[in-house]
């Protein structure tokens, strides 16, 4: 019974999201924009962590690679910011492949700690102005506004449609991916790696492929971030960002896209709404995370089995 209402509920939410900027003020639209960016990042992390079960707590590193690629190409070579999307994805994806190649076979917790290490090394490299192109601790500023068919995207409302349009496309593509042979192989990997290997799934290939894909997506989100902020600096890509993304995926229910989107709203949106209680809100945030995990260890909407 419940499933018959689900398409309607989702259509209703989509419609509400589509008209939201018309009756919200600029601040709230901006909050929705950051939720959108985190939702995108969380969806890309969900591929790696949720669908394939690879513990990645350094996702901010790939996000940073993308954002910096976009910013450098834009400010140095005057390439329009949205044209840098494929380059950002490529750079972040290749970087992820290079990093993951020697470590991807490691067992869960070791991979977790290595990805934390990679995230920190990338951040420190950015702070130290590696190759003299990242601008050190100040970062890069003066990134130009995105332009679509001569229309310059400037206001939060415009960015809203850019970001959430990207969310919609991402959700659709990842949904199709999940239904494909590739998606099934990932789930097999997550549930039982040995059995997957035994049934002829090339585990190393799939692990690397999903790592590269998730990272490339995060890299493209980095472009959107750079375009929205026009200034980027290393502190936007700290360990904390990776932790938040990790929490969103697990809280939402690893492997469930609707759950991940819902968790992005809760984890990013709620602290924004409680800005008045600035000092105590993170304390409550930590407490809520603990309580949520104790009450619902599988996350808000756990991934459903396929059989």
Partner 1 sequence: MEEFLQQLTNGLAVGGIYALIALGYTMVYGVLKLINFAHGDLFTYGAYLGLTLLASLALTDRLGFALGVLVLVLMVMGLVAVLGAILERAAYRPLRESPRLSAVVSALGASIFLQNTLMLIYGARFQVYPDDILPAAMLNVFGLYLPLMRVLIVLASVLIMIALYLFIQKTKIGTAIRAAAIDQGAARLMGIDVNRVILLVFLVGPALGGVAGLMVGLYYGQINFTMGWVYGMKAFTAAILGGIGNIPGAMVGGLLLGVIEAMGAAYLSIAWKDAIAFLVLILILIVRPTGLLGERVADKV
How far is 189 from 264, CA to CA, in rounded Å?
A: 25
Q: Which of 12, 138, 176, 286 binds partner 1 (CB under 8 A)?
A: 286
The continuous run of DSSP H or E covering 92 comes out as: helix 85-103
Distance CA(23)–CA(17), nearest Å, equals: 11
128 counts as binding partner 1 under rule CB under 8 A:
yes
CB within 8 Å of 34: residues ≥ 6 apart: 268, 272
Binding pattern for the stretch 227-256 against partner 1, x by CB under 8 A and - elsewhere = ------------x---x--xx--xx--x--
Any contact of residue 289 with partner 1 (CB under 8 A)? Answer: yes
Cβ burial of 180 (10 Å; 0-12, 13-18, 19+) is exposed
Give the E-state strand segments of the chain in sequence order: 140-141, 147-148, 151-152, 231-232
d(CA 58, CA 73): 24
Q: Per CB under 8 A, does 277 bind partner 1?
A: no
| Member of 41, 72, 114, 140 binding partner 1 (CB under 8 A) | 114
Q: Could you give the CA distance from residue 68 to residue 135 in angstroms, rounded to a whole number?
A: 10
172 vs 282, beta carbon nearer partner 1: 282
For residue 68, state whether it binds partner 1 (rule: CB under 8 A). no
Given candidates 18, 97, 106, 266, which one binds partner 1 under the rule CB under 8 A?
A: 106
Q: How far is the CB of 121 from partner 1 (least distance, A)?
A: 5
In this structure, are residues 38 and 248 in contact, taking their beta carbons and an 8 Å threshold?
Answer: yes
Interface mask toward partner 1 for 136-175; x: CB under 8 A: ----------------------------------------
- DSSP class of residue 149 equals T
As measured in angstroms, the least distance from the Cβ of 30 to partner 1 is 24
Are 62 and 96 within 8 A, CB to CB? yes
Is residue 121 involved in binding partner 1 (CB under 8 A)? Answer: yes
Q: Which of residues 175-214 bind partner 1 (CB under 8 A)?
A: 194
Distance CA 74, CA 229 (A): 13
Among 8, 77, 102, 142, binds partner 1 (CB under 8 A): 102
Nearer to partner 1, 138 or 179 (CB): 138
- Neighbouring-strand partners of residue 152: 147
Nearest to 206 by CA among 190, 185, 187: 185
Q: Which of 118, 126, 163, 301 binds partner 1 (CB under 8 A)?
A: 118
CB of 288 to partner 1, least distance (A): 7
Contact with partner 1 (CB under 8 A) among 10, 179, 287, 306: 287
CA–CA distance from 82 to each of 44, 146, 221, 234 (Å)? 19, 6, 11, 21
Q: Which of residues 13-42 bind partner 1 (CB under 8 A)?
A: none
Q: Which is nearer to partner 1, 81 or 260 (CB)?
A: 260
For residue 93, the number of C-alpha atoms closer than 13 Å in the C-beta half-sphere is: 16
Residue 47: closest CA among 223, 243, 254: 254
Is residue 133 a contact residue for partner 1 (CB under 8 A)? Answer: no
Binding site for partner 1 (CB under 8 A): 49, 55, 102-103, 106-110, 112-114, 116-118, 120-121, 124-125, 127-128, 194, 239, 243, 246-247, 250-251, 254, 279-280, 282-283, 285-290, 292-294, 297-299
């Amino acid at each position: 019974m419940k499933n018959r209402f689900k398409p309607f509920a989702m259509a209703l939410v989509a419609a509400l999201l589509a008209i939201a900027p018309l009756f919200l003020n600029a601040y709230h639209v901006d909050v929705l924009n950051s939720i959108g960016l985190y939702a995108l990042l969380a969806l890309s992390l969900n591929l790696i962590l949720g669908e394939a079960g690879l513990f990645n707590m350094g996702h901010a590193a790939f996000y940073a690679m993308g954002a910096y690629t976009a910013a450098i190409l834009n400010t140095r070579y005057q390439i329009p910011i949205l044209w840098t999307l494929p380059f950002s994805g490529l750079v972040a994806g290749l970087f992820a492949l290079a990093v993951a190649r020697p470590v991807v076979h490691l067992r869960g917790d070791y991979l977790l700690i290595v990805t934390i290490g990679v995230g920190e090394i990338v951040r420190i490299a950015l702070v130290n102005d590696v190759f003299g192109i990242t601008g050190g601790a100040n970062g890069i500023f003066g990134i130009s506004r995105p332009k679509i068919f001569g229309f310059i995207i400037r206001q939060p409302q415009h960015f809203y449609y850019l970001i959430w349009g990207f969310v919609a496309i991402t959700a659709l593509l990842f949904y199709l991916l999940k239904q494909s042979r590739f998606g099934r192989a990932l789930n097999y990997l997550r549930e039982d790696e040995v059995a997957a290997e035994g049934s002829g799934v090339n585990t190393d290939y799939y692990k690397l492929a999903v790592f590269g894909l998730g990272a490339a997506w995060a890299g493209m989100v980095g472009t959107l971030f750079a375009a929205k902020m026009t200034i980027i600096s290393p502190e936007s890509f700290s360990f904390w960002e990776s932790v938040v993304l990790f929490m969103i995926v697990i809280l939402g229910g690893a492997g469930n896209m609707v759950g991940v989107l819902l968790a992005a709203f809760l984890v990013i949106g709620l602290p924004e709404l409680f800005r008045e209680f600035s000092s105590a809100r993170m304390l409550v945030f930590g407490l809520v995370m603990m309580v949520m995990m104790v009450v619902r260890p599988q996350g808000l909407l756990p991934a459903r089995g396929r059989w």
